């Protein structure tokens, strides 16, 4: 087991010039007693205000442990967070928002709890959330929906304050707007039992404006379909499409069987019946789904074989031969 206790704190920022000074001061105050090496990675996501300028001014005065990454344009919070995680050098990684609503003083406690509970991810839970009631209601609905569909039971997926083991989160690749589903993506490389949550401090925004509206809640439903597919069927997509194809095929076959009985036993005409067209449509859809399933299986196998990727991840291995490594499995 590695004794490295170094920490990387990753903070994506967009149009947060007024928050830069107080934010960095709060981070240093919260980690003042942290006994191990740590770095602060601030990722500017294409801000058009003075966010980058103020970050560099603060970094020049505080030390080289502050690293500033500037994106070429606004790619979104997910991409900014991925850039920071990729650049992180610590054995543990903590992420939080740059709007001062998360308290950096929670990080040392969360890191201790992560190790004490032997977790790979510790998710913050804003139990006393300082947002308006409408936003909290929709967020609560979205959180329950995500937990029920994915099987990763957490109260607050939207909290950006998280602590990870670096070797686990670096196996995850974030795209689109999938940062709110990070615990679910992590469940794709580790057991959900190694994902926990803890109550954290949440404060009202003091400067700037929120970058998210209530429309984000509805986009969650679309993103959730993608997450569900990749979590359950990434290595066996043929099962997903094949199941749909078999259902449509069965319905279409039952319809055609009934029409055959009507035609040849009862002697009635079936040419103008809507059931005939619906049954033919279902059979065609079944063939399309089954064909798509076969093609998706070929693509999945090609991906894993060509990229060297695996459909599994090893936690640890006992043995005397030091030449064996996880990469050899």
The residue that leads in pLDDT, 167 or 152, is 167
Q: Are residues 35 and 183 in the same domain?
A: yes
* Per-residue pLDDT at 314: 62
Angle at 46 between CA 25 and CA 64, to 5 degrees: 40
Beta carbons of 164 and 7 less than 8 angstroms apart: no
Q: Is residue 73 part of a domain?
A: yes
Q: What is the pLDDT of residues 106-143, one digit of tens each?
A: 999 999 999 999 999 999 988 877 666 766 776 777 77
**Tokens representing residue 325 in the block:** 């490594």
Q: Is residue 329 part of a domain?
A: no
Q: Is residue 313 part of a domain?
A: no
User: In total, how many domains does the chain have?
Assistant: 2
Q: Are residues 243 and 276 in the same domain?
A: yes
- Arithmetic mean of pLDDT, 252-276: 91
Q: Are residues 104 and 244 in the same domain?
A: no
DSSP string, 35-66: -S-EEEEEEE-S-SSSHHHHHHHHHHHH-TTE
Rounded distance between C-alpha atoms, residue 252 and residue 277, angstroms: 10
Rounded distance between C-alpha atoms, residue 166 and residue 67, angstroms: 17
* Per-residue pLDDT at 66: 93
What CATH number should be reported for the domain holding residue 191?
A: 3.90.550.10
Q: Which residues are 162's β-sheet partners?
A: 95, 123
Query: What mean pLDDT is reported for the chain?
Result: 83
Rounded distance between C-alpha atoms, residue 129 and residue 136, angstroms: 8
Decide which of 184, 217, 233 is a domain's last residue.
233
Rounded distance between C-alpha atoms, residue 34 and residue 47, angstroms: 31
* Per-residue pLDDT at 142: 74
Q: What is the pLDDT of residues 199-239, one digit of tens each?
A: 998 876 665 555 555 556 566 667 777 777 777 777 788 88
Q: What is the pLDDT of residues 280-312, one digit of tens each?
A: 999 999 999 999 989 988 887 786 677 665 555
Q: What is the DSSP letter of 170?
A: T
Q: What is the pLDDT of residues 74-92, one digit of tens each?
A: 888 888 999 999 999 999 9
Beta-sheet strands, E only, within 72-137:
92-95, 121-125
* Per-residue pLDDT at 59: 87
- Arithmetic mean of pLDDT, 98-102: 83
Q: Are residues 17 and 83 in the same domain?
A: yes
Whether this prediction's pTM lies above 0.85 is answered by: no
Q: Are residues 300 and 226 in the same domain?
A: no
Q: Which helix (H) or strand (E) holds 298?
A: helix 274-307
Q: Are residues 197 and 121 in the same domain?
A: yes
User: 125 is in which domain, residue-wise?
Assistant: 7-233
Q: Are residues 102 and 139 in the same domain?
A: yes
* Per-residue pLDDT at 1: 40
* Per-residue pLDDT at 31: 93
Q: Residue 28: pLDDT above 70?
A: yes
């Amino acid at each position: 087991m590695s004794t490295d206790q170094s920490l990387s704190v990753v903070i994506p920022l967009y149009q947060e010039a007024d928050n830069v000074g107080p934010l960095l001061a709060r981070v240093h105050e919260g980690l003042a007693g942290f006994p191990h090496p740590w770095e602060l990675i601030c990722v500017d996501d294409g801000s058009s205000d003075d966010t980058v300028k103020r970050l560099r001014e603060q970094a020049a005065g505080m030390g080289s442990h502050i690293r500033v990454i500037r994106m070429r344009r606004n790619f979104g919070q997910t991409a900014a967070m991925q850039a920071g995680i990729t650049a992180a050098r610590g054995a543990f990684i903590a992420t939080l928002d740059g709007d001062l609503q998360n308290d950096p003083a929670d990080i040392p406690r969360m890191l201790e709890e992560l190790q004490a509970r032997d977790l790979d991810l510790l998710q913050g839970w804003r139990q006393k959330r300082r947002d308006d009631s409408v936003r909290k209601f929709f967020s609560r609905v979205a959180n329950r929906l995500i937990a029920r569909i994915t099987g990763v039971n957490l109260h607050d997926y939207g909290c950006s304050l998280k602590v990870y083991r670096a070797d686990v989160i670096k196996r995850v690749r974030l795209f689109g707007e999938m940062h709110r589903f990070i615990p679910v993506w992590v469940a794709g490389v580790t057991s959900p039992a190694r994902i926990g949550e803890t109550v954290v401090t949440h404060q009202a925004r003091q400067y700037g404006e929120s970058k998210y509206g209530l429309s984000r809640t509805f986009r969650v439903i679309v993103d959730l379909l993608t997450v569900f597919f990749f979590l359950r069927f990434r290595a066996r997509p043929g099962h997903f499409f094949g199941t749909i194809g078999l259902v449509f095929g069965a319905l279409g076959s039952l319809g055609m069987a009934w029409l055959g009985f009507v035609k040849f036993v009862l002697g009635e005409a079936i040419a103008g019946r809507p059931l005939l067209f619906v049954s033919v449509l279902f059979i065609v859809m079944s063939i399309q789904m089954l064909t798509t399933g076969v093609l998706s299986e070929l693509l999945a196998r090609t991906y894993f074989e060509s990229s060297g990727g695996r459909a599994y991840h090893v936690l640890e291995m006992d043995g005397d031969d030091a030449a064996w490594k996880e990469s050899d499995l």
